[in-house]
Every structure is written in structure tokens, then in C-alpha cells.
Structure 1
Amino acid sequence: MKQFKTIDVWISMILIFSFVIYGCCRQDEYFLTGYFVVGGWQVISMLVHYFNKWFCEAGTKRRNYHFTVFTIFILAGAGIIFTAILYLVLIVLLFAAPVMAIFYTWLCYDEVYVKMQRPLDLLK
């Protein structure tokens, strides 16, 4: 678990940093590629955490984040029928998705480098 979570944190940080640089260099509509790549990676990470029951207890930050993302998926699905909902969700996500990606990366970092430390390591 620790190895996966460590790799997950570093891949998220590298992807976010890379696509920020890519977006600044290109300065066109292709910056949206980063939304899908980073978001896709983090959704896969969320699914792995959910099915392995890692840090997904009720009331945790991760569980609340999973619920938020699930709600966004439901709203986007409803947007297929009611296009006004889809437009609203997409506009909100245009600004919220980068914040969500950074929060999720911080959440993973916190789990690996703070919560998973052995108690004796904290005494140093």
C-alpha cells in the first residue's frame, strides 16, 4: 500500500506541474488536456483506494472527497438530460478542478508522509 501511495503522490505532483508548464507554454485551448489527464489519474487512484478500503472510513476527508466527486459525476450525468445543468457543472469545474486536484494530492501526501509514519519515527 505504501509503495502505491508514494508513487500516486509523485505522479500526481508531476502531472500537475507538467500540465501547468504545458498550459503556460501553449496558451491555447489544449490546456484542457491537463484537466482530463490529471483528473483521470486521480479518479483511478480514488477507485483503488475505495476498493482496497484505504483511509476510506466514514467521516474522513477522503470519504468526503469521494462523495463530492461522486456527486459531480451524478450532476454531469443529469446534465445529459438537462443541458443547463451540464453547462453549470462544467463552468464550476473549470475553476474548481485545479483546486480539487491540488487538494487530492495534498490528501494523498498527508496519508503517506504523516498518517502512515510509524510512531517511533515521530520521536526523532
Structure 2
Amino acid sequence: MKQFKIIDFWVNTGLIISSVIISILERKEDFLHNYFFAGYFIVGGWQVISMLVHVFNRCFTARWTARYIYHWITFIAIVTMPGSFWVLLYAAPFMAVYYTYLCYQETYVKMKRPLSILK
């Protein structure tokens, strides 16, 4: 699971950065053909798959932890998608960055080996 978490963090980071760079370079005025909007679904899709892997492996999903609360917020947002579209349009980039930060914390802070802290 540690290898998946490392890959998850770097894929999240790469997807966010590449979707922002591509959308800046593309400069399309049409909202539906904008790559920034497509980045929402690409990054969001990867993060939903990642959340499902964490749930099925029961990794860092104890009750009332940051990941547990984030999973419920995302689940409610996806279920109420037609009504929450405009809220998610503005909140999704912040949620994506927070999820990447959450993955970083779990991988490089919480999963550190005790002997590596002594160095």
C-alpha cells in the first residue's frame, strides 16, 4: 500500500500541474472546450479511484480522521452533482490540492519508519 500511496501522491501532483499548464497554454475561450474544465474530471476521477482503493484496503480511514471526513464530503458532493455543480466548480481545485496534501502527509509523515526519525 505504501508504493500505491507514493504513486498516488505523484500522479495527483502531476495531473494538477499538467492540467493547469495545458489550460494556460491552450487559451480557449469556449468553456466546454477548455482543458482546465477537462482537468476537473481527470484529476477528480483519479482521486475518486484513489479514495475507493483506500476504502477497500481500510488504509487511514478510521472514523473522524481527515481522510474519513473528506471521503464523506466528496461522496455527498458526487451524489448531489446536479445541484452542487456551481459549488464544486469553485471548490474542486481547493479540494484537489487538499487531497494531494493529505496524501503527502500520510505517505511522507505518518508512514515514516521510526529509525528514520532518529537520523
State the TM-score, normalizing by the size of structure 2: 0.92
Spell out, residue by residue over 1:70-111, the C-alpha distance to the aligned partner (whole angstroms, 9 max, x if none). Answer: 1112222xx4xxxxxx2xx11111110000000000000100
Equivalent of 1:43, from 39, 48, 51? Answer: 48
Q: Equivalent residue for 1:54?
A: 59
1:26: Cα distance to partner? 1.4
Is 2-11 or 23-32 further displaced after alignment? 23-32
Matched, 1:75 2:77: no
In percent, how many aligned pairs have the same letter? 53
1:1-124 equivalences in 2 (<5 Å): 1-28=1-28, 29=31, 30=34, 31-76=36-81, 79=82, 86=83, 89-124=84-119
In 2, distance between residues paired with 1:38 and 1:74? Answer: 18
In 1, distance between residues paired with 2:111 and 2:45? Answer: 25
| Count of residue correspondences | 114
1:71 aligned partner, one-letter code: I
1:51 aligned partner, one-letter code: F
Q: Give the 4+ runs in structure 1 shifted more than 4 A.
A: none
Aligned to 1:54, the other structure's residue is in SS state coil
State the TM-score, normalizing by the size of structure 1: 0.88
Q: 5+ residue gaps in structure 2?
A: none
In 1, distance between residues paired with 2:78 and 2:94? Answer: 17
Aligned to 2:76, the other structure's residue is in SS state helix
Name the Cα RMSD after superposition. 0.9
1:41 aligned partner, one-letter code: W
